Structure 1
Amino acid sequence: MMSYTPSFHSLLLWLVMFFVFMIIKSLRYHLVNMKPKIPKLPPGPKPWPIVGNLPEMLASKSPTEWIHKTMEEFNTDIACIRLGNVHVIPVTCPTIAREFLRKYDADFASRPISMATDIISNGHLTTILVPLGEQWKKMKKIIANDLFSPLRNQWLQDKRNEEADNLMFYVYNKCSNGELVNVRIATQHYCGNVYRKMFFNTRYFGNGMKDGGPGVEEKEHVDAVFVLLNHVYAFSASDYIPWLRLFDLDGHKGMVKDALKIMNKYHDSLIEERIKQWNDGSKNIEEDLLDVLISLKDINNNSLLTIKEIKAQIIELMMAMVDNPSNAVE
């Protein structure tokens, strides 16, 4: 019987193949473990291609009620709902919400971009409605240092006192005539009067009312503000599928633009005339916040703000000044 003895070359070949196999196996193991582990998304309804869960949400009477109902069906305090290409993460648990704000504060500090905020802020030129960035830093500095600093607050005290006196005059006249005082109307228009006095140094755009109440122009002006507030972050499919803005399916775009036209009707002529006065030298003393915005200069002694920035910022501040105080009082 013949015996087979492996040659040196064949043995070497087997050893090389063994080492190559072990190297490949080791590399594969490391590559698999080095891949970032994608965390699982919270539970939620299965989305449709492209549109996500927008059809279900649009079919419901209230988007918020639909979200709550969906979370109850999944028995969860945190869910994932895809709207277009956006993953919306609703949370109903205070503990989870607190963790969001602690760990991901930088992500949630910025403002989301929407159709309404883009139109109202004239392309994100303002402070409150814009995402974090250089423009936000610029406008925030102006708001904090030039418009609402402690010194500026004292400077405007007389104007606020005038409107407080006018509010008392209005309420007194209503009571003297045996009429009811609508607290909502009174506080909303008091805030509107303070705003107009602080920015335009006037109480009324028109003639006003003898009893101290708002005139037709002031009512239209404040009503337009609340139209903007009602739509600024209202649910709109076009915020998740941008090309739908062309069709304005929910009518939000048209309503926001109409409200802005009303506000610009009263603001633009006053702002443009005031800028002209400062440019031709017929005005050189600051009397209100509009004068402050116009007179701000950069390091080259040029106007710090464009006319678009001034107009957009004044509208945004009007929204904040009328809404928050009147709601708090009510």
Structure 2
Amino acid sequence: MAKTYGPLIWLQLGSMPIVIVSSADAAREIMKTHDIIFSNRPFTSVLDRIFYGSKDVVFSPYGEHWRKMKSICVLHLLSSKQVQLYRQVREDETAQIIRKIQEANGSVVNMTDLLVTLTNNLIARVASGKTYGFQHTVHRIANATTRFFVGNYFPSFTWMDRLSGLLREADEIFKESDDLFEGVIEEHVNKKVFGIKGHDLVDILLEIQKDKSTGFELERYMIKAIILVTFI
């Protein structure tokens, strides 16, 4: 198509305009020169429902709120210092995977399952202090975000998504994940009661929430949104 119509192709998918870029020069103009104009992700009803009204750092519209959320993630959660602090966690989880391979005694090992388990356990321990059962919820969210929602392209036909049960399913997934992360936060607020040890990402977010000098009010649902994005 690019040979016939050129490096920029405009498509209209329902009410959603799509621009296809197929040259390095055009991509540079969009991604570097005019990146702010094209920085927002497309709005979708399922993402807005699951990710707290798109108030997380990934799907939030470009603006002051996004800049504050990004600053929190970059400076407090993903800095090189924080990464080094969790070196022991990485070594522990990797050692467990190696032991499982050794215990197989030469029999067939499903490396995909082991690596998924390793990734999930690493993120869970770094983010929340222990290996919570997040896999089921993450899997449901991943499946929901890849489904075709008619209303995203034809807003006047959103009733079809409601009729098919897709919007109800998105609301159920949100309720499941929100309850899960609410429990995680409660455990960290009452660490002594629940026996939570160490200092993880949830603790850091709760400290930022208490710090009034930042000039940014990190609300509880924003903390849950950051934790959710961390896993996704």
Q: Is residue 2:170 matched to residue 1:270? A: no
In the alignment, the residues of structure 2 paired with residue 233 and residue 111 of structure 1 have an alpha-carbon distance, to the nearest angstrom, of 15
In the alignment, the residues of structure 2 paired with residue 273 and residue 188 of structure 1 have an alpha-carbon distance, to the nearest angstrom, of 25
Q: Would you say the 8 A contact 1:121–1:313 is kept in 2? A: no
Q: Would you say the 8 A contact 1:116–1:253 is kept in 2? A: yes
Q: Would you say the 8 A contact 1:118–1:124 is kept in 2? A: yes
Name 2:65's counterpart in structure 1: 135
**Alpha-carbon distance, 1:191 to partner:** 0.8
Any idea what SS the aligned residue of 1:89 has? Answer: strand
Amino acid at match of 1:133: G
Q: Would you say the 8 A contact 2:89–2:125 is kept in 1? A: yes
Q: Is residue 2:97 matched to residue 1:183? A: no
Amino acid at match of 1:232: T
In the alignment, the residues of structure 1 paired with residue 146 and residue 20 of structure 2 have an alpha-carbon distance, to the nearest angstrom, of 15
More displaced stretch, 75-84 vs 119-128: 75-84
**Alpha-carbon distance, 1:272 to partner:** 2.0
Q: Is residue 2:91 matched to residue 1:161? A: yes
Name 2:120's counterpart in structure 1: 192
More displaced stretch, 163-172 vs 81-90: 81-90
Any idea what SS the aligned residue of 1:80 has? Answer: strand
In the alignment, the residues of structure 1 paired with residue 76 and residue 119 of structure 2 have an alpha-carbon distance, to the nearest angstrom, of 21
Q: Would you say the 8 A contact 1:115–1:239 is kept in 2? A: yes
In the alignment, the residues of structure 2 paired with residue 230 and residue 108 of structure 1 have an alpha-carbon distance, to the nearest angstrom, of 26
1:266-292 per-position Cα deviation (integer Å, ceiling 9, x unaligned): 4322212322x27x9999x86211111
The 3 A distance-change label for structure 1 pair 137 and 99 is closer
In the alignment, the residues of structure 2 paired with residue 301 and residue 75 of structure 1 have an alpha-carbon distance, to the nearest angstrom, of 53
TM normalised by structure 1 equals 0.59
Amino acid at match of 1:101: M
Q: Is residue 2:18 matched to residue 1:105? A: no
The 5 A counterparts of 1:17-96 are 71=1, 75-77=4-6, 78-96=8-26
Name 1:227's counterpart in structure 2: 140
In the alignment, the residues of structure 1 paired with residue 147 and residue 67 of structure 2 have an alpha-carbon distance, to the nearest angstrom, of 26
1:38-70 per-position Cα deviation (integer Å, ceiling 9, x unaligned): xxxxxxxxxxxxxxxxxxxxxxxxxxxxxxxxx
Q: Which has the larger radius of gyration?
A: 1
The 3 A distance-change label for structure 1 pair 76 and 259 is same
Q: Is residue 2:114 matched to residue 1:202? A: no
For residue 205 of structure 2, the aligned residue among 293, 296, 300 is 293
TM normalised by structure 2 equals 0.81
In the alignment, the residues of structure 1 paired with residue 214 and residue 75 of structure 2 have an alpha-carbon distance, to the nearest angstrom, of 18
**Alpha-carbon distance, 1:230 to partner:** 4.1
In the alignment, the residues of structure 2 paired with residue 224 and residue 141 of structure 1 have an alpha-carbon distance, to the nearest angstrom, of 27
Any idea what SS the aligned residue of 1:88 has? Answer: strand
Q: Would you say the 8 A contact 1:117–1:130 is kept in 2? A: no
The 3 A distance-change label for structure 1 pair 162 and 261 is farther
Amino acid at match of 1:129: F
Q: Would you say the 8 A contact 1:156–1:198 is kept in 2? A: yes
Say how many residue pairs are matched.
Answer: 229
Identity %: 24
1:208-247 per-position Cα deviation (integer Å, ceiling 9, x unaligned): xxxxxxxxxx4xx324323323443655321233354344
The 5 A counterparts of 1:112-123 are 112-123=42-53
Higher relative contact order (CA 8 A, sep 6+): 2
The 3 A distance-change label for structure 1 pair 250 and 282 is closer
**Alpha-carbon distance, 1:301 to partner:** 8.6
